[in-house]
Amino acid sequence: MKKLFGLSVLAIVAYAAAPTALAGDYSGPGFSADLTIRDHRLGSGRYHGRYYFDRGGYRMDIDGRSRVKAFVFNSFDSYFVSIGANKRVDIDEDKSGALSMLFDDAPCAGFHNAFQAGSDGKGGRELKIWRCDKPKQELLDAGYSWEHKATVWYDEGLKHFVRMESNDGVKIELTNVVPGRQAPSLFTVPTEGGPVQASARIADVETVD
């Protein structure tokens, strides 16, 4: 996508037609899940890993020969971190407005338009399907194009999507969901690894659909 991978992936995630939420305003139960993701910025094919989400932020750990091994967003301190396969750590503190939209309880946070397109009961969860388009200014500033669109399968119990697909080819699916509060330490900057550098634009790091 033309967003940060983590943001992409996740920003697509819960963009909302509702007003931007304050960081940490997520009111769901928190959860962890198995992750399946397809995004050309990671490499070719599908990748698997783990996903963690709560009021403190979100984290994606990616297995296999991916170019990026983890994405972390801390909602309280408003920074986004990507960890490369070479253990390089990139930190971006300038896109908190766009990323904070992930913590709104609406399914299309960050978009002007949200259309409910049906429901889906697969996997034992009652999901609402939403189509989101016309990104708000915060997302455009973060590197998304005006043509960006996303479809999300939204779980009202989790206050979060369990599947997401965007028109830039990014696809995310969450399975084996386990509701529950997640440790704040999951959303902190790693203290070990390679050199730390600041990213110029969240959209250039990319992760979310």
DSSP secondary structure letters along 25-61? ---S--EEEEEEEE-TTT-SSEEEEEEEEETTEEEEE
Closest CA to 51 of 30, 65, 67: 30
Compute the distance between CA of residue 112 and CA of residue 207 in angstroms, rounded to an integer.
Answer: 21
With respect to residue 33, please indicate whether it lies within any of the assigned structural domains. Answer: yes
Task: Examine residue 119 and state whether it is found in any structural domain, yes or no.
Answer: yes
Locate tokens 């020969």: which residue?
65
Q: What is the mean pLDDT of residues 107-133?
A: 89
Asked if residue 159 has pLDDT above 60, the reply is yes
pTM of the model: 0.79
Q: Is the pLDDT of residue 42 over 50?
A: yes
- What domain range is 40 assigned to? 5-204
Q: How many separate domains does the chain show?
A: 1
| Domain CATH number, residue 80 | 2.50.20.10
> Residue 72 contacts by C-beta under 8 Å, 6 or more apart in sequence?
6, 57, 58, 59, 60, 80, 81, 82, 83, 186, 187, 188, 189, 190
Residue holding tokens 């790693």?
190
Does residue 114 carry a pLDDT above 60?
Answer: yes
Mean pLDDT confidence for 19-33: 70
Question: Is 195 domain-assigned?
Answer: yes
Distance (Å, rounded) from C-alpha 48 to C-alpha 77? 28
- pLDDT recorded at residue 38: 93
Q: Is residue 209 part of a domain?
A: no
Q: Which letter does DSSP use for residue 201 in this model? A: -
pLDDT at 203 over 80: no
The Cα–Cα gap between 110 and 140 comes to: 10
pLDDT in tens, 58-85: 899 999 889 999 989 888 887 888 899 8
Residue 13 has pLDDT above 80, yes or no: no
Q: Using CA atoms, how far apart are residues 185 and 162, in angstroms rounded to an integer?
A: 23
- Phi then psi for 116, rounded to 5 degrees? -80, 125
112 within domain boundaries: yes
Asked whether residue 166 is domain-assigned, the answer is yes
